[in-house]
Structure 1
Amino acid sequence: MIFIVLGSQKFQFNRLLKYIDELISENKIMGTVVAQCGHSDYTPQNYEGVPFYNQDEFKRIVSDADIIITHAGTGAIITALKNNKKVIAMPRLKEYEEHVDNHQIQIVKNFVKKNYILEAHDKDSLFEGISNIKNHQFAKFKSNNSAYINTIKDFLTNE
Structure 2
Amino acid sequence: MGNKIFITLGSQKFQFNRLLKAVDELCEKEIVDAAGVFAQIGYSDYLPRKYSYKKFLDRDEFSNEMGKADIVITHGGTGAIIGAVKKGKKVIAVPRLVKYGEHVDDHQLQLIKQFDELNLICPCRDTNKLSDALDTVQKASYNGYESNTSNIISSIEEYIKGI
TM above 0.5: yes
1:88 partner SS: strand
Alignment of 1:38-53 (within 5 A): 38-53=42-57
Q: Is the 8 A contact 1:119 1:126 kept in 2?
A: no
* Distance across 2 between alignment mates of 1:75 and 1:111: 12
* Distance across 2 between alignment mates of 1:50 and 1:82: 23
Aligned residue among 85, 88, 103 for 2:107? 103
* Distance across 2 between alignment mates of 1:149 and 1:40: 38
Q: What one-letter code is carried by the residue in structure 2 that aligns with 1:24?
A: C
| Count of residues in correspondence between the two structures | 159
Name the counterpart of 1:4.
7
1:101 partner SS: coil
**Structure 1, unpaired ranges of 5+:** none
1:11 partner SS: coil
* Distance across 2 between alignment mates of 1:63 and 1:10: 25
Answering whether residue 144 of structure 2 is matched by residue 140 of structure 1, we say yes
* Distance across 1 between alignment mates of 2:55 and 2:159: 40
Name the counterpart of 1:93.
97
Q: After TM superposition, what 4+ stretches of structure 1 lie above 4 angstroms from structure 2?
A: none
Task: Report the alpha carbon displacement of residue 150 of structure 1 after superposing the two structures with TM.
Answer: 2.8
* Distance across 2 between alignment mates of 1:26 and 1:152: 53
**Structure 2, unpaired ranges of 5+:** none
Could you say what the CA RMSD is over the residues aligned between the two structures, in angstroms?
Answer: 1.3
Answering whether residue 53 of structure 2 is matched by residue 57 of structure 1, we say no
User: C-alpha deviations, 1:20-62, integer Å up to 9, x for none?
Assistant: 0111101111251000111111101001111111101111111
Counting aligned pairs with the same residue, the percent is: 46
Task: Report the alpha carbon displacement of residue 148 of structure 1 after superposing the two structures with TM.
Answer: 2.2
2:39 partner SS: strand
User: C-alpha deviations, 1:117-145, integer Å up to 9, x for none?
Assistant: 00112233211011221110112221212
Name the counterpart of 1:18.
21
* Distance across 2 between alignment mates of 1:92 and 1:155: 39
Aligned residue among 5, 13, 30 for 1:27? 30
Task: Report the alpha carbon displacement of residue 8 of structure 1 after superposing the two structures with TM.
Answer: 1.2
The two structures have a TM-score, normalised by structure 1, of: 0.94
